[in-house]
Chain A
Amino acid sequence: MNCNAYSKKRPFILFILGVLLLLIIFLLSICLGSIPISLEDMKKAFTENDKIAHSHYIIITTIRLPRVLAAFIGGASIAVSGLMIQIFFQNPIVEPYILGISSGANLFVGLVILGGFTFGMTSMSTTGMLIGSFLGAVFIMIMVIFASQKVKSITTLLIIGLMLGYVCSAATSVLTALADREKIASFTLWTMGSFSGFKWSDVKYAYMITIPFLIIAFLMSKPLNAMLLGEKYARSMGVSIKLFRFLIVIVSSILTAVITAFAGPISFIGLAVPHIVRMTFKTNNNRIMIPAVCIYGAVMTGFCDLIARTIIAPTELPLNAVTSIIGAPIVVYLLVRKKGGTL
């Protein structure tokens, strides 16, 4: 009965550690920055906001708080999406963007920034970019879902996703070649990914859309577990593969598309966090993995965002540079330390 007594204790400790880390990063993200804010002030901002400097209050409530909350939900979503995609493709080196989602978003944002398309809107704005990126991601996603109904082999689907990605990237390069230099700069900035400039309304939407899908992901942990043995075994255990395949593409794509729309393509989180969690929790069981990946995705993204904006403040580093620099060595270390070094 108590077959896994040891492996039940470990996740429990790691979950508590994750929540603590989340809290610490939350506090640091509010307090640190080009203008340091004391814990005391932070407390006041929430309780007696008339007693602190107005500028501090503004910084906390309109800049840092939405940003850290956005980083948390962004990290959680991208990481869970990465986990699902890795299980679905039975391939440890795929990430959410493998299906061409980021390239689709890139292309459409490119159309907005570089080509001046407004998608029916009268003026160009961040909202336009947001809509562009969401449309791009969803457009590619629908094509992949359509393909997934037709194509039986998962590898073929993967290749279709990759090819769509290439086509979109090519189209984006063409756009870039034809565009003005100024516009290229602002486009490049977007592709670097960032949680800066998140407004409360953005945060609200991000949470409203992603949380139901994160819950759906958790509810899918049983078929996801069956899928660990491969598609044939999953089918032989009564998993309806067509429905499951459809759900997995929908859930992981929407989680990715929403975050990409708001923050640009966030690289490495989707690839690295599932690995880090798997190797520290020492399990593949998705009932543990999904909540754990949520928490540690949030921790890692929050931490990377904090580093990105504080380490050489006031200059801000591109988030994608930080995620890779921090994430890659952790994955390599865990792999090397592990017996046999296999995934």
Chain B
Amino acid sequence: MTPILSAKHLDAGYDNKAVISDIHFDALKGQMICLLGPNGAGKSTILRTLSGLLAPINGTVEINGVNIKKIKSKNLAKDLSLVLTDNVSLSLMTVYEIAAMGRIPYTGFLGNLSVDDYKIVDNALETVGAANLKDRYFSELSDGEKQKVMIARALVQEPDLIILDEPTSHLDIKHKVEVIRVLQRLTREKGITCILALHDIDLAIKGCQTVILVHGNNIVTQGTPEEIIGSGCVQKLYDISGAVYNELLGSIEFVGNNTNDIFIIGGNGSGIPIYRTLSRMGFGLTAGVIHENDIDFSVASVICSKVITESAFEPIKDISLSKAKILLQEAKCVIDAGFHLGYINQKNMELIKIAQKLGKPILSLRNNQNNSDFIDIDVQSIHFYESIGDLISSIDEIIKSHCL
């Protein structure tokens, strides 16, 4: 099968200076390919070169097997359409008129639309879910609606390939998802190939079939989202400091303080909101004992300065418990996240007992004071809270009074 677009040893840049060199990839029919990289990595430059707006410095771009330089611009417009980041200020054009502009490569000298043209425009607006907007003025629309209309316009060109530059930037999460959904529909149902630039790691990895990582004058790697995640390239790609991209969860966590103010006993997701909240307030956190396959682990390992872990599915061993005990001794107070107690993490309850013996203030989010989880523990000395909000409103005071 001839690829819809094929970039062969392409150097892209301006004024004979390559910004990105040796781009090499094929885009097949119905593929959704995403260029992922930080701002200024050269994603837009690549897209402009792929779309023929910029001449390649070296190498070739082929559309359906033909060198793009040899395709007449009018014919190219029937193969390929664009959605750009350029802010279009069309105050007095209706949505329909803008979508209908996509027929320009097909209409005659004066641009009269035929009955078929009208049908194509109607269908395109329907496909992107903007049919209800067609009589509205473009300038009255929200950013998300505008983007959908621009995609409809691109669709009206009836291309094999749509190239989109940052189609989701400036959009809220609802519209981000909607735009990606629309593109997925175009690729799956209509067999249109989409090449898009994104800087949103999450959307790229979860929404696209092929991801190309662009960084520092080069394509770092390319492959399926799963391969990209496995390669551990994302953190390097964005050169993030002060935060860590969690490739498993696909989320960013800010690195916490490197101190041990509060020891948190969590598990099964109960710890995550507490880590995040207290870290935001400036506390240095430690946590334990968490199993390595626990969801809390992936977040705690970034936020907390130290985390005591146990191998997956193993009951907590004594050695882990004694390591946790050392951290617990240093901390100013202990929080019981209200984790679910089961066979393998039973020993975490012992940690609470130890904390009590050490005279550490214990704050608990366990919902019932008479909870049968507390065996041999004097619940009177534990501060119980219904929510994290309640807990944080009194934590400062408890720590202060205890230190006195």
- Interface positions of A (Cβ within 8 A of B): 1, 3-4, 6-7, 90, 219, 221-222, 225-226, 228-230, 232-233, 235-240, 278-279, 282-285, 287, 339-340, 342-343
Contacts and interface: CB of A to CB of B under 8 A. Distances in A.
B290 to A, nearest CB: 52
Contact of B110 (A228, A238, A279, A287): A287
B239 interface: no
A233 B82 contact: yes
Contact of A219 (B91, B93, B110): B110
B102 interface: yes
B53 A278 contact: no
B82 A283 contact: no
A287 to B, nearest CB: 7
A7 B82 CA distance: 28
Contacts of B118: 1, 3
B97 A235 contact: no
Residue among A232, A278, A279, A339 having the largest count of chain B Cβ atoms under 10 Å: A232
A285 B97 contact: yes
Interface string B259-298: 0000000000000000000000000000000000000000
B77 A230 contact: no
Nearest to A241: B73
Contact of B90 (A3, A228, A279, A287): A228
Contacts of A238: 72-78, 104-105
A232 B82 CA distance: 9
> Nearest 3 CB-CB pairs, A to B?
A238-B77, A238-B74, A222-B111
8 contacts: A221-B110, A226-B104, A235-B53, A238-B76, A238-B105, A240-B73, A284-B92, A285-B97
B174 to A, nearest CB: 24
Nearest to B72: A238
Nearest to B51: A236
Contacts of A284: 90-93, 97
B337 to A, nearest CB: 50
Contacts of A90: 89
B94 A3 contact: yes
B21 interface: no
Contacts, number: 96
B92 A278 contact: yes
A90 to B, nearest CB: 8
A240 B104 CA distance: 12
Residue among B82, B88, B111, B135 having the largest count of chain A Cβ atoms under 10 Å: B111
Given A219-B110, A236-B82, A238-B76, A228 B134 contact: no
B101 interface: yes
B104 A222 contact: yes
Contacts of A237: 77, 81, 101-102, 104-105, 157
B107 A233 contact: no
Nearest to A278: B92
Contacts of B92: 278-279, 282-284
A233 B153 CA distance: 11
B86 A233 contact: yes
B245 interface: no
A226 B80 CA distance: 16
Contacts of B104: 222, 225-226, 237-239
Given A3-B118, A7-B94, 19 more contacts: A4-B135, A222-B107, A222-B110, A228-B101, A229-B88, A229-B98, A232-B82, A232-B84, A233-B82, A233-B88, A235-B53, A236-B80, A237-B104, A238-B73, A284-B90, A284-B93, A342-B91, A343-B89, A343-B91
B91 A287 contact: no
A228 B107 contact: no
